[in-house]
């Protein structure tokens, strides 16, 4: 089990009802973290449309998360 801090943005934050939470999860990759949060809070958004960062660096969904990491979940963007 790993202790992971998850930060939610925009729609994801609204779904979760919190901007940030620290969870104890049995996960390997960033994609696993995303799946866990979907089970927890719901979302039909596929990972392919979303982006993820680990400890303030953009990452692939296949990136391995380590105990103590902060994972940022970004729904589809629309700047400008």
Question: Does 40 sit near another protein (CB under 8 A)?
Answer: no
- Give me the least distance between CB of 74 and another protein, in Å please: 5
* Of positions 58, 60, 62, 66, contacts another protein by CB under 8 A: 58
Residue 72 as a binder of another protein (CB under 8 A): the answer is yes
b (16+ CB within 10 A) / e for 52-80:
bbbeeeebeeebebeeebebbbbbeeeee
Tokens of 66: 């380590």
- Report the interface residues with another protein, using CB under 8 A: 9-12, 14-15, 42-46, 49, 51, 53, 56, 58, 72, 74-80
């Amino acid at each position: 089990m790993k202790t992971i801090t998850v930060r939610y943005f925009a729609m994801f934050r609204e779904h979760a009802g919190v901007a940030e939470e620290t969870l104890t999860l049995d996960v390997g990759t960033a994609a696993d973290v995303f799946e866990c949060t979907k089970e927890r809070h719901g979302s039909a958004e596929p990972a392919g449309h979303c982006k993820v960062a680990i400890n303030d660096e953009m990452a692939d969904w296949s990136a391995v998360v380590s105990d103590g990491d902060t994972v940022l979940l970004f729904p589809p963007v629309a700047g400008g």
